[in-house]
Amino acid sequence: MTQSVVVQVGQCGNQVGCRFWDLALREHANVNKKGIYDEALSSFFRNVDTRSGGDGPDIYKGKICSLKARALLIDMEEGVVNEILQGPLRDVFDSTQLITDVSGSGNNWAVGHKLYGSQYQENIVEKLRKAAEHCDCLQCFFIIHSMGGGTGSGLGTFVLKLLEDEFPEVYRFVTSVYPSGEDDVITSPYNSVLAMKELNEHADCVLPIENESLFDIVNKIHQMANSGKLGSTVKQNSLVTSSAGSAKTVQEKPFDAMNNILANLLLNLTSSARFEGSLNMDLNEISMNLVPFPRLHYLVSSLTPLYTLADVNVPSRRLDQMFSDAFSRDHQLIQADPKHSLYLACALLVRGNVQVSDLRRNIERLKPSLHFVSWNQEGWKTGLCSVPPVGHSHSLLALANNTCVKPTFIELKDRFMKLYKKKAHLHHYLHVDGMEQSCFSEAISSLSDLIEEYNELDATKGGPRTDPPRLKIAV
């Protein structure tokens, strides 16, 4: 069994990470009734002997003693991390996994990347190495961060580069939360474009998530719950809308429901690494099969059901309907339209009692409505994990490498140029040591090149689509 380490950076990264660890523990508790430390748990948790106090030796077999998340928590403000350490998850982390400061990055990519990056580099590398040493077979680093602020975008992408330098063979999977157009951080277009250059160069796969899409999804679920369409009203303390139901009740925060959706995305993404299945998909297979060109590694994710792990009496979606949902805009975590754009490849990660024949039938049913590049008409990768999410019979995560991400990048470029043409707020960045104006011109050039690569692919769309003849096999 392989192991993965989660690196959560900045306020958003740590809040999403916190929800992921909480829900992952619930999922394992639902399956692992005897409290035995097994391979499924070892993929994301260590079992530590804390009887002698402190960070004791790892216990590889037998009863669970003390579970510690394979994680590194980084934030240049203490608030969110302190909250985690005082909450129900406090025993899952210890001081060797934390890196915090008090002053924050002030919504400035340069402060996070250049200033705090150089200041904390040795400390970060040392803690990453320690996390790696506790793994028998380290396969993947998951980075969770946001693009609009200073720490998540700046220090988050600095850590990404460090990971490439220190662990070049270990797969780097980044979940990036993109700001909406109405973001309250005026400099977020600068931060996002500067971070994009680093993602282009150093990530193996990026899941871009838009705040706006998450907000719309949460609103729809609330409306459905209030109108009774979910089969019954949402119970109080429902996990779809709050972090309640933990060891102690906490006041719901505005982003809790949105963070839950992201945490569920990560639960489904990692399910094959954590549980058995008839067609398990390794995390490195996602990159191998879905990323035909190194820079075009941005995957559009859609999730069904969206209210996984909610304490909601939801009538189960029929299996075939679930596949249709995964290709509808309502279930996507980015505002885009893949059906009218070009697919380079698509992965379907299914959980629950689903057969390979169900997968094949639905792929054949959906294929005529989807445009794939001419040289990869059969570009489907599938994974089956036998353990469904808590409270559901099955679920589906679709990951599409599709040119529909292009409008998001174009809009980001336009917002960047509005500020950059006026040189607005540039002085805040340029007074940071190591930050030159060339960093801005290189970043916008990198984004423009990426958009152009998508344009070239889009130009090939619309040619005649002919299915190649297949070899007929008598059964």
The per-residue pLDDT for range 144-162, each reduced to its tens digit, is 999 999 999 999 999 999 9
Instruction: Collapse the DSSP code of 250 into the 3-class scheme (helix H, G, I; strand E, B; otherwise coil) and give the result.
Output: coil
Confidence bin at 468 (pLDDT 50/70/90): very low
178-224: per-residue pLDDT in tens? 998 787 889 999 999 999 999 999 999 999 999 999 988 888 877 77
Model pTM above 0.75 = yes
pLDDT (0 to 100) of residue 375 = 93
Q: Which of 12-21, 74-83, 238-247 has the lowest mean pLDDT?
A: 238-247
253-288 residue pLDDT tens: 658 889 999 999 999 999 988 988 888 888 889 999
How far apart (Å, rounded) are the C-alpha atoms in residues 47 and 445? 47
CA distance 367 to 280: 23
C-alpha angle 186-203-72 in degrees, rounded to nearest 5: 80
For the cut 60, the answer to whether the pLDDT of residue 5 exceeds it is: yes
Q: Which residues are bridge partners to 350 per DSSP? A: 384, 396
pLDDT tens digits, 407-458: 999 999 999 999 999 999 999 999 999 999 999 999 999 999 999 999 999 9
Residue 392 CA to residue 163 CA, distance in Å, equals 36
Helix axes of 256-274 and 283-290: crossing angle, nearest 10 degrees? 100
Domains and CATH numbers, the chain: 3-406 (3.40.50.1440), 407-460 (1.10.287)
